[in-house]
Structure 1
Amino acid sequence: MLQQFGFTQYESQVYQSLITVDQPLDATGIVKSSTVPRSKVYEVLHRLIEKGMILETTVEKKRLYTALPIEATIKKLKTEFESNLEVLRNTQIKKTPSDDRVWTLKDNQSIQSMLNELIQLAQHSIYISGWADDLTTYLPLLESKYQAGIDVSIHVVGKLSTSIPAVSTLIPDSNAILERSRILIVDKQEILFAGIEDSKWQAIRTQSNPLVKFFTEFFYHDVALTEITQKYKDTIMEDGDIRNVLLKLRY
C-alpha cells in the first residue's frame, strides 16, 4: 500500500493492518494481522510514529496503536510530495561545459519528460521530427517557443494542425511500414534521438558535435525527401529504379 511512496514493506504491512480494522491494536494484534515478525514490529512502529503515520496511546499499561485516517494520510503524502518537488525544482544546477558523451535513457515517460525539458531550454532553434499523435503532446510548448521568436521546424508523419509555418508533412503510403522515432535538435548543440527496440522506447542524448551535425543532416534529409516525394510522387513511382531506392530508406 505505502511502498510506492517510499515506505518499507514492513511499514506498509503494519499501516495496512491498522487501517483495515475499526479498533486500535496492540503489538501482538499487529504481528498477527500484518505478519511482520515480532522481533521487528516495535522498530517498525517506532518509525511509523516518527513519520506521523500512526497514533499511539497507553491504556492500563498496554500500548495501543491506530492508523492515521486515509484522507489525512493522502493529504500528508500529497503535501510532502509537492514540497519535495519544490525543493528539487529550486536545486541549483551547476553549469557544465559541453558534454560530448552519449547518454542512454529508457522508459517512454522519462524520454518524453527529457524531450519536454530540452524544448523548454531552447534559446535559438528547435528541429523536431516524429509522428503526429506524438508531437501533439508538445505542440503548445513548440508554438509558445515559436511565438517567442525561436526558430521552430517540424517534420511530422501524419497530419498536424499548427500555427508554426515550417512544417514538412509526410502522409505515408498505406503499404509503407514505418518505424516510430523522435528526433529533437536544440540550438544546433544538443540532440535527443528515440526509437523503439523490442517494443520499448530507448533514447540517446548528446552534445557531441559530430552526432549533432549528423542528426541535423538526417532531419533535413527527411524534410527534403518528404517534399520531393510529395511533389513528384507520380513521376518517382513510375521509375522502378528510383522507387526501389526509396523503399530502402527509413520510410
Structure 2
Amino acid sequence: MNDISEALQLLGFNQYQSKTYLALVYLGTSSAYQVSKQSGVPRSRIYEVLEGLEQKGVVIKEEVNGTVQYSPLPVDVFLESIKQQWEETYSSVKKELKRFEKQDLKADPRVTTIKGGENILSFCRTLLRRAKHRIIVSIWDAMYEHLADDLRMKQENCSLKGIVFQVENPLPDLVVHRQTDYIDNIGENKWFIISIDGREMIYGHPVERNGNAFYTDDVVHVSLLENYIWHDVLVNRLVEQSRENLQNWISSERKKFFKL
C-alpha cells in the first residue's frame, strides 16, 4: 500500500490525499469516519482532505438516508483522467521548452554532470536518437547490453565506430579489445564514452555504478576523447597484425609510464 501511495504522490497528490483515495477504492462508498480509520488520516483532517479530492473530481460526495457518504472515482476513469492530464502537461511543457531553447543564445561550450544510473542511461539514449552522421563509442559489456538495441537501430542510418570491452559478437565495425591483464583487473573502472557527430558526447561511470557521467559540447573534449578511442582501436589492430608478441612489451611500458 505504501508503494502505490508514494506513486500517487508523484502524480500530484499529497500524502493524505493518496491514502484517502486508496482507502475509498478499497472500501467503496463509505463515511468520513470509515475512510479516516482505514487510511490513517486523522479525523481532524479527513473532511478537509475529502473536500479537496472532491474539488479535483476524484471523490464523489452524496447524501444517503441523511448520511454523507463518499465514493471514489472508478479506477479506470481515474487512470484515464490522470493519463490525459499528464499527456496535456507533457505536450505543453515540451512545446514551451523547445520554444525557449530556440530563443536561447548559443551558450559557451560546457561540461554538465549527470547523476544516477537511470539519468545517465536516458541521456545516452537521447543523444543516440539525435545522431545524424556518426557515432563513436568506447564501452564495456554491461553498458553495451543496455544500449545495444539503440545502437543497432541507429546503425541503419549512421556510421558506428569504436571499441568494446568483453563483448561477444558486437555490431559490425566495433573492435573488440584484446584480452590483457590490465583489462581483466580493471575492477569497477569500466568508463564509457559515446560521441555524437563529432560535436557532443557523454562519458563517465556506467549505469551499474550509479555514479556520475559528464555531457559536453566542447570541441576540445570531443576531439581528445575521439582520438583516445581511435588510438585504442589502432593499437588493437597493430597487435593483431604483428607477428611479434607485443602485448608483454605494451604491458611493461604502461606500468613504467604510470608508475608513481
TM range (shorter): 0.7 to 0.9
- Whether 1:70 aligns to 2:75 is yes
Is the CA contact (8 Å cut-off) linking 1:159 and 1:171 kept in structure 2? no
TM-score by length of 1: 0.81
Aligned to 1:117: 126
Is the CA contact (8 Å cut-off) linking 1:98 and 1:207 kept in structure 2? no
How is 1:22-33 mapped onto 2 (pairs within 5 angstroms)? 22=28, 24-33=29-38
- Whether 1:10 aligns to 2:13 is no
C-alpha separation in 1, matches of 2:244 and 2:25: 70
TM-score by length of 2: 0.78
How is 1:32-181 mapped onto 2 (pairs within 5 angstroms)? 32-93=37-98, 94-95=101-102, 96=104, 97-148=106-157, 150-157=158-165, 158-162=167-171, 164=172, 166-173=173-180, 176-178=184-186, 179-181=189-191
C-alpha separation in 2, matches of 1:203 and 1:249: 27
SS of structure 1 residue aligned to 2:16? helix
Pick closer, same or farther for the CA change 1:67–1:211 going to 2, 3 Å: same
C-alpha separation in 2, matches of 1:82 and 1:247: 56
Pick closer, same or farther for the CA change 1:234–1:89 going to 2, 3 Å: farther
C-alpha separation in 2, matches of 1:205 and 1:27: 52
Pick closer, same or farther for the CA change 1:183–1:234 going to 2, 3 Å: same
- Whether 1:193 aligns to 2:203 is yes
Is the CA contact (8 Å cut-off) linking 2:54 and 2:60 kept in structure 1? yes
Determine what percentage of the aligned residue pairs are the same residue: 23
Q: Which amino acid aligns with 1:190?
A: E
Pick closer, same or farther for the CA change 1:144–1:56 going to 2, 3 Å: same
Query: How many residue pairs get matched?
Result: 244
- Whether 1:224 aligns to 2:231 is no
Output the aligned Cα RMSD. 3.0
Cα offsets for 1:40-62 (capped at 9, x unmatched)? 32232122122222221112443
**Can you give the 5+ residue segments of structure 1 that lack an aligned partner in the other structure?**
none
Is the CA contact (8 Å cut-off) linking 2:25 and 2:72 kept in structure 1? yes
Task: Report the Cα offset of residue 73 of structure 1.
Answer: 3.2
C-alpha separation in 2, matches of 1:55 and 1:31: 16
Pick closer, same or farther for the CA change 1:161–1:196 going to 2, 3 Å: closer
Is the CA contact (8 Å cut-off) linking 2:137 and 2:162 kept in structure 1? yes
SS of structure 2 residue aligned to 1:180? coil
SS of structure 1 residue aligned to 2:36? helix
Task: Report the Cα offset of residue 234 of structure 1.
Answer: 6.2
Task: Report the Cα offset of residue 133 of structure 1.
Answer: 4.3
Task: Report the Cα offset of residue 218 of structure 1.
Answer: 2.0
SS of structure 2 residue aligned to 1:183? strand
Cα offsets for 1:69-92 (capped at 9, x unmatched)? 334433433443344444444445
Pick closer, same or farther for the CA change 1:238–1:199 going to 2, 3 Å: closer
- Whether 1:235 aligns to 2:231 is no
Pick closer, same or farther for the CA change 1:248–1:140 going to 2, 3 Å: farther
Task: Report the Cα offset of residue 119 of structure 1.
Answer: 1.5
